[in-house]
Amino acid sequence: MEPMPPPRLLPRRPADALMRARVDYWFWRVLTGLVFGAALGLCIVNPGHAAPVPIAALPG
């Protein structure tokens, strides 16, 4: 009975998988940064746009 070869856990070229994971990480990091940055920028430029009642109507 022949010995079984070890299972292949890594892809054929691990450097390619590492590069792909790095690109995916930076893609999502930049994309979420742009989305949250745009939302924060809108809140800074127009601070009352999301308030359900006017700021002047709040007590105090």
Residue pLDDT, tens place only, 6-49 = 766 655 677 787 888 888 999 999 999 999 998 888 777 776 66
pLDDT digits (tens, 9 = 90+) for 5-15: 776 665 567 77
Q: Spell out a b/e string for 25-40, using b for 16 or more CB atoms within 10 Å of the CB, else e.
A: eeeeeeeeeeeeeeee
The pLDDT assigned to 52 comes to 64
Q: 22 vs 17, 18, 25, 29, 42, CA distance in Å? A: 9, 6, 5, 10, 30
Record the pTM: 0.48
Percent of the chain with pLDDT over 70: 63
Count how many Cα atoms sit within 13 Å of the Cα of residue 36 in the half-sphere of its side chain: 6
Average pLDDT, the chain: 76
